[in-house]
Amino acid sequence: MGRLFGTDGVRGVANRDLTAELALGLSVAAAHVLADAGAFEGHRPVAVVGRDPRASGEFLEAAVVAGLASAGVDVLRVGVLPTPAVAYLTGALGADLGVMLSASHNPMPDNGIKFLARGGHKLADEIEDAIEAHYDRYGGAGDADWDRPTGAGVGRVTDYGEGFDQYVAHLVAVLPNRLDGLKVVIDGAHGAAARVSPEAFTRAGAEVITIGADPDGLNINDGYGSTHLGRLQAAVVECGADLGVAHDGDADRCLAVDAEGTEIDGDQILAVLAVAMRDAGTLRENTVVATVMSNLGFKLALEREGIRLIQTSVGDRYVLEQMKSGGYALGGEQSGHVILLDHATTGDGALTGLMLAARLAATKQPLSELAAVMTRLPQVLINVPDVDKSRVSSSAELAAAVGEAERELGATGRVLLRSSGTEPLVRVMVEAADTDQAHAVAGRLADVVKRVLGN
């Protein structure tokens, strides 16, 4: 069996790759591994379980709850809530673990299981490995030779409807100022934030118009949300709104749209929040953490503002690891996955949108002016398939071609060659002050990659 856990839990097509049997078995395995690690010692364990609105989440939630309860874990079932809400409630309620059923921005037929440790933090890699090993060893829950609890020892299942209000109240409470006077359009992607985000913005004082806020189990991410901004852009202009906010299916991301309908990506949101937090004295160590895929314009903007940038490998897990190890307060990715570590243990799309709106309300400046703190340089990405990606870092000829391209681009350009983590291809990314130059350099480098590394 290949590794089940990816960078963000276990994902696949629901009822084909991610079956009820797998969900149940992994839940039992998680309970056993955490118990063996001493996480439940001295008390009766409790888990918080939530999901996004996908139809498959209904049977997968039932399987997860059954697995946990059969292993003696009490379950608080919070229903449809964003991933960051489940993380927050896991911490706030003192639960021993959290489980979120979602495939984020993936299409509706997909689903996923993410386990969270006490406090609402991502499980350590070694714990995930142990869960998978336990599952592989016993073939799921059915064949495991374990002492099943009976009678009063089985887990009890409780619907915890208060979670919605607790999470919304938390979001509003951490805002530095109210949003009175702002008109905001929110695209909930027909996903987990369809109720939460509009409610939080409304309680904070904004006038709210919603789109993508009618989930039916089948329409999540379908033409709406952070991967489909067209409808939000049109709605913001039509309504004369100050700001548009788009979430993905599980609402751990946020992209924005200004009053003219122009997209504001994760780099720009990070830049605006970095300046706001620096001015407020909350940008610890005067540092922001982002990945190597961040636009060069973001790096140059932070340099001009006197803010330090630390860059990590691609993936929010690496951003979070760096933030925790260095004690930093702000980090994220161009995709809109923004981590505000003082208030959340993971990327939180609703919180990000609220903080961005709070900056608009406090400064009385339009988003277009605030986002102008950085100039997004043209960025060209070419995927070169069917090559030996293992030789990217060892090819002298490729290194020479990259060096030549970097000299041509100078200080206002950048080259990044990166092996795909999941596919047999190499990604060639070039940034330059001029679009034509970026395309030309990227095309030349892609040709070299194909020639040198081609199979």
List 27, 102, 104, 335, catalytic entry? 104
**Looking at the predicted structure, is the pLDDT value of residue 1 above 50?**
no
pLDDT score at 3: 74
Packing angle, helices 163-173 and 196-203, rounded to 10: 50
147 is in an annotated binding site: no
Q: Is the separation of the CB atoms in 36 and 30 below 8 Å?
A: no
In a shared domain, residues 255 and 395: no
Domain end, chosen from 327, 353, 371, is at 371
Residue 4 lies inside a defined structural domain of this protein: no
Q: Per-residue pLDDT averaged across 101-124, rounded?
A: 94
In a shared domain, residues 53 and 65: yes
Residue 80 lies inside a defined structural domain of this protein: yes
In a shared domain, residues 176 and 248: yes
Residue 2 lies inside a defined structural domain of this protein: no
250 is in an annotated binding site: yes
DSSP collapsed to 3 states, the chain: CCCCCECCEEEEEECCCECHHHHHHHHHHHHHHHHHCCCCCCCCCEEEEEECCCCHHHHHHHHHHHHHHHCCCEEEEEEECCHHHHHHHHHHCCCCEEEEECCCCCCCCEEEEEEEECCCCECCHHHHHHHHHHHHHHCCCCCCCCCCCCHHHCCCEEECCCHHHHHHHHHHHCCCCCCCCCEEEEECCCCCCCCHHHHHHHHCCCEEEEECCCCCCCCCCCCCCCCCCHHHHHHHHHHCCCEEEECCCCCCCCEEECCCCCEECHHHHHHHHHHHHHHHCCCHHHEEEEECCCCHHHHHHHHHCCCEEEEECCCHHHHHHHHHHHCCCEEECCCCCEEECCCCCCCCHHHHHHHHHHHHHHHCCCHHHHHCCCCCCCEEEEEEECECHHHCCCCHHHHHHHHHHHHHHHHHCEEEEEECCCCCEEEEEEECCCHHHHHHHHHHHHHHHHHHHEC
Q: For the segment 232-263, what is each residue's pLDDT rounded down to a tens digit?
A: 999 999 999 999 999 999 999 999 999 999 99
252 is in an annotated binding site: yes
In a shared domain, residues 188 and 282: yes
Q: Is the separation of the CB atoms in 243 and 259 below 8 Å?
A: yes
Q: Is the separation of the CB atoms in 97 and 111 below 8 Å?
A: no
Alpha-carbon gap, residue 351 to 340, rounded angstroms: 8
In a shared domain, residues 29 and 147: yes
104 is in an annotated binding site: yes
pTM more than 0.85: yes
- Please give the order of strands across the beta sheet that includes 255-257: 207-211, 183-187, 243-246, 255-257, 263-264
Residue 285 lies inside a defined structural domain of this protein: yes
**Looking at the predicted structure, is the pLDDT value of residue 224 above 80?**
yes
How many distinct structural domains can be found in the chain? 3
Domain of residue 438, CATH code: 3.30.310.50
Q: Per-residue pLDDT averaged across 356-368, rounded?
A: 98
In a shared domain, residues 334 and 425: no
Domain of residue 21, CATH code: 3.40.120.10
In a shared domain, residues 101 and 146: yes
Residue 5 lies inside a defined structural domain of this protein: no
- Calculate the alpha carbon distances from 428 to 170, 196, 410, 443 in Å: 41, 38, 17, 9
Q: For the segment 388-437, what is each residue's pLDDT rounded down to a tens digit?
A: 888 888 889 999 999 999 999 988 889 998 887 666 789 999 999 889 99
In a shared domain, residues 228 and 356: yes
Domain end, chosen from 323, 345, 371, is at 371
Instruction: Give the mean pLDDT of the chain.
Output: 93
In a shared domain, residues 367 and 226: yes
Q: Is the separation of the CB atoms in 415 and 366 below 8 Å?
A: no
Domain end, chosen from 324, 343, 371, is at 371
In a shared domain, residues 189 and 257: yes
In a shared domain, residues 403 and 334: no
Residues in a beta bridge with 114: 100
pLDDT score at 394: 86
Residue 3 lies inside a defined structural domain of this protein: no
Q: Is 104 a catalytic residue?
A: yes
Residues in a beta bridge with 385: 425
In a shared domain, residues 396 and 327: no
Q: Taken in order 269, 271, 273, 276, is the CA torsion positive or negative?
A: negative
Q: For the segment 252-307, what is each residue's pLDDT rounded down to a tens digit?
A: 999 999 999 999 999 999 999 999 999 999 999 999 999 998 999 999 999 999 99
Residue 362 lies inside a defined structural domain of this protein: yes
Q: What percent of the chain has pLDDT over 70?
A: 97
Tell me how crowded residue 151 is: count the other CB atoms within 10 A of its CB. Answer: 5
pLDDT score at 390: 83
Residue 238 lies inside a defined structural domain of this protein: yes
Q: For the segment 299-355, what is each residue's pLDDT rounded down to a tens digit?
A: 999 999 999 999 998 888 899 999 999 999 999 999 999 999 999 999 999 999 999
Nearest-CA neighbor of 354 among 193, 211, 225, 176? Answer: 176
Domain that holds residue 24: 10-161
